[in-house]
Copies of this chain bind each other. A is one copy, B any other.
Amino acid sequence: MSSWLDEIKWSADGLVPAIAQDASSGKVLTLAWMNREALRLTLQTKQAHYWSRSRGALWKKGEQSGHVQRVREIRLDCDGDAILVVVEQEGGIACHTGRESCFFRRLGEGSWEAVDPVRKSPEAIYGPR
């Protein structure tokens, strides 16, 4: 019944890297991790769920920020060890820094430079901390 889950080559700790890509801008938004439950929930709810390795917990993208990712497509790569999720990004912001994409730093002359604009301040997203 869930043999499609068995076709995935889960890592030793039961995870697979999942890339989220914006369906309209084409931007690569995030790289996060999924376990079976996260992927199952992602399919079921059509909203991206991940496994937080730092918190050791399942996590619905946008649960705090409201910046949920509505899933259009779920794809698997040729060797079955990476997932691509094509999403509609609520608010046009995927990053906790308030930017569209988490990949906002570009390698310049020997350093990483933040090159993409902040669309909304973290304070405005999450409230004062």
Binding site for B on A (CB under 8 A): 1-4, 7, 17, 19, 21, 26, 28, 30-31, 43, 73-79, 81-82, 84, 95-97, 99, 102-107, 110-112
Contacts and interface: CB of A to CB of B under 8 A. Distances in A.
Contacts of A111: 3-4
B7 A112 contact: yes
- Copies in the assembly, this chain: 2
Nearest to A31: B82
19 contacts: A1-B110, A4-B107, A19-B31, A21-B28, A28-B28, A28-B84, A30-B77, A43-B107, A73-B106, A74-B107, A75-B103, A75-B106, A76-B103, A77-B102, A77-B103, A78-B95, A78-B99, A82-B102, A84-B103
Name which of A75, A82, A95, A106 has the most chain B CB atoms within 10 A of its CB: A75
Contacts of A4: 107, 110-112
B31 A77 contact: yes
